[in-house]
Amino acid sequence: MTVRGTLSAQTTTLIGRGAVLAETEVLLRETRLVTLTGAGGAGKSRLAVEAGRSLAAAEAFQHGVRRVRLGDLGDPALLARVVAAELRIVDNAPDGGFGRLVESLHDKHLLLVLDDCEHLLDAVRHLVHHLRRDCEGLTILVTSREPLGIYGERVLRVPPLSVDDAVRLFEDRAGVVAEQADVTALCTAVDGLPLSVELVAARPAGTPLTEVLDGLGPVTLDQVLGWAARRCTDEERLVWAALSVFPADFDLAAAEAVADADVQQPLCALVRRSIVVATTSPVTGETRYRLLSAVSQFGARLLTDADEPLRRHALHYNEFVDEVARSWFSPGEALWMGRLWEEWPNVRAAIGHALRTPGLAAVGATMAMNGQRARFTSFAGMLGQAWDLLAAAREAITEAPLRTSLLAHCAYMAQARGDMATAIPLMNEARTLPRLPVTDVHLVLAEATHLFFVEGSPDCVPLYAHVVELCRRHASPGDTYITELMHAMATCFLLDAEAADKATTGLIRQAESNGVNWSHAWGLWLRGLHELLHGDPAEVHGPALRALRIQLTLGDTWGAPFSLWLLACACAELGAFDRAARLLGALRSQERISRISFGGMSPFQQVLERADRGTRRALGDDYQVITTLGADLRPEQAVAFALEPVPASERRPVVPALPGGLSRQEFTIAGLVAEGCTSKQIAARLFISPRTADRHVVNISVKLGLPSRTALAAWHRSAATDR
């Protein structure tokens, strides 16, 4: 895990919190769990951010400070997954994400801020208890209206502002000079609650403070919100109510879709009145909006019927995700991935609502599939969340052909990470259901991948070619490239060098010229694979390293393990056995973290086993020690090691000199001929095509000057005896 700061920049001055801020920092240095409590609008979140920022600047925590906003999370079951995602921890597991959190945080000296937790108290209590038990270097700062009530918790109640500080806050936010006595009376009436002060300070222009005071008296935040709502226009109140359905921040287009109106003017008015908070997107540079939880809850009470805004919310994000799935395969891929990351809380909520709502389930299922078709959840290491949503979709969708597509899509997802135990039952059910031509794209892709990964059959190659044609007619450019890549990969593994050249050359050239960095990385990877299987292993390292660098730049957590696999196998072929062993160990850790099982993908496993056998034989007793060192590397350390060039001094002769000047593979093939194996049997043993095996036998006979297979067999028996 690479830990980075997530404390957003503040655009307003923190007023009157010096003492409580200092006390918070002292407690965080002394104890491992601090909870800031207080009424809604007391400023708990702002105080947590400022405390975190101060401690980060002082380098009080070796691995920094991370903040996770939980106000937008409605489902407690997703808590661990959401925290993992916000910390950029790869969470591709089906077990709820808690294991990955502990595995990633157990050795970190980190301050974790869990913000806005009062609606998730039981789930947060459970999570915090286990994180504190299993992660000794972790300190947790919680903000909640209520304490967690667990052992070791230090509770600090955030008090209202003093009258003097509340007056200063009013004057700072109002930006105008008002009668001091009236301001003091107003701040006293709202009990110094910062949000109430800010709402009243943002009163409509020209509204006398005496009128505000007449309307208030001693009041709660809820009454201040009611006062603010009464001073909104009807249009502004309708917009406020509609915006309450957003679980997270949103842009103008989403606001207009949900409100079903042009909302620019009322939205600006709500921002001026501190009812809506405006921020700038770091992805697009455009304005995004959000409602504080207390303001959103009040707005929800203004809704006469939430069903229609929620329906429009789901339909808007369905259109958005569909656009991403169709458009991400372009030079703008990083922007699309960034936008989907920014909108993910809304997308996740929209999928959940649609799947629970009669008449919208198909929309939810399609949205869940499109999120994965856009490669977002693979990129971001959030396949666990994707799998949860797709599992809910399988519960909701019972009729073909959509269920057929859904099952086939899930089967392919499982195949892609080598989980055949999950994939096969899904495929078996999909085969029994009706389908449409567009369904064939999903189902035939899964069928071809089964032949490739499970059976290692060359029959998958023409089937992939058929899927490519289906994609060109019925799917997006990104889907088409995926199937072209699988076709070329299968050809490399299962057919001879001539067929591999033909299948890969055009795709590599396309990847280098289409401006899509993701496909460029896989084109480089494919070039390396071709060299490993059919060319010169010394030519693998360069393309594999370039592919890995692109994947890291993109934040592609899925592609990186495949590049590590390629580098480990190449180092073994080069005779750089120390490096190969360390990479093999790191690869096993990456398999566990990413939930990619190369052991479940027969072609990959065959090549990996060959690399492992050669490395184990070369290193002897040192093998276990060196692979363990690799397995102990953190993901970022493993990647840094993989990116190092291979010094010439590390390269050894790949094999000792063998009789007749044969290579290891050639001597092995001669031995199989001596055993009486046919070319087809040799191909099955070595995982090459029969045609390639036959060509090797001919080349070996020519090299040795032998006239027949019988003579070659006799030669090998004699040579083996001499050795």
DSSP string across 341-353: HHHHHHHHHHHHH
With respect to CATH, is domain 664-722 assigned 3.40.50.300? no
Q: 162-180: per-residue pLDDT in tens?
A: 988 888 888 888 876 667 7
- Bond prior to 603 in cis (omega within 30° of 0): no
What does the domain layout of the chain look like in residue ranges?
17-157, 163-231, 496-650, 664-722
Q: Measure the CA angle with vertex 418, ends 414 and 422; round to 5°.
A: 40
Among 2-6, 309-313, 434-438, 484-488, the least confident range:
2-6
CA distance 230 to 224: 10
Q: Strands (DSSP E) along 570-650, which ranges?
A: none
User: What's the pLDDT band for 655 if we cut at 50, 70, 90?
Assistant: very low
Report pLDDT for 635: 86
CA distance 321 to 18: 45
Report pLDDT for 4: 37
Does 598 score more than 80 pLDDT? yes
Task: Give, as one character, the DSSP assignment of residue 660.
Answer: G
Among 199-213, 524-538, 673-687, 703-717, the least confident range:
199-213
- Are the beta carbons of 495 and 466 closer than 8 angstroms? no
Q: When comparing pLDDT for 81 and 653, which is higher?
A: 81
CA distance 116 to 132: 19
Does 2 score more than 60 pLDDT? no
- Are the beta carbons of 218 and 226 closer than 8 angstroms? no
Does 640 score more than 80 pLDDT? yes
Rounded (10°) CA dihedral 226, 230, 232, 234: 120
Report pLDDT for 684: 78
Domain 17-157: CATH superfamily, name plus number = P-loop containing nucleotide triphosphate hydrolases (3.40.50.300)
Report pLDDT for 76: 92
CA distance 63 to 47: 21
Q: Average per-residue pLDDT in the chain?
A: 89
CA distance 520 to 689: 28
How large is the greatest C-alpha to C-alpha distance in the chain, in angstroms?
112
Q: Do domains 17-157 and 664-722 have the same CATH topology?
A: no
Phi/psi at 37 (nearest 5 deg)?
-115, 170
Label the pairing between strands 277-280 and 287-290: antiparallel
Q: 365-402: per-residue pLDDT in tens?
A: 999 999 999 999 998 999 999 999 999 999 999 998 99
CA distance 271 to 293: 15
Q: In the predicted model, what is the mean pLDDT of residues 574-581?
A: 92
CA distance 276 to 290: 6
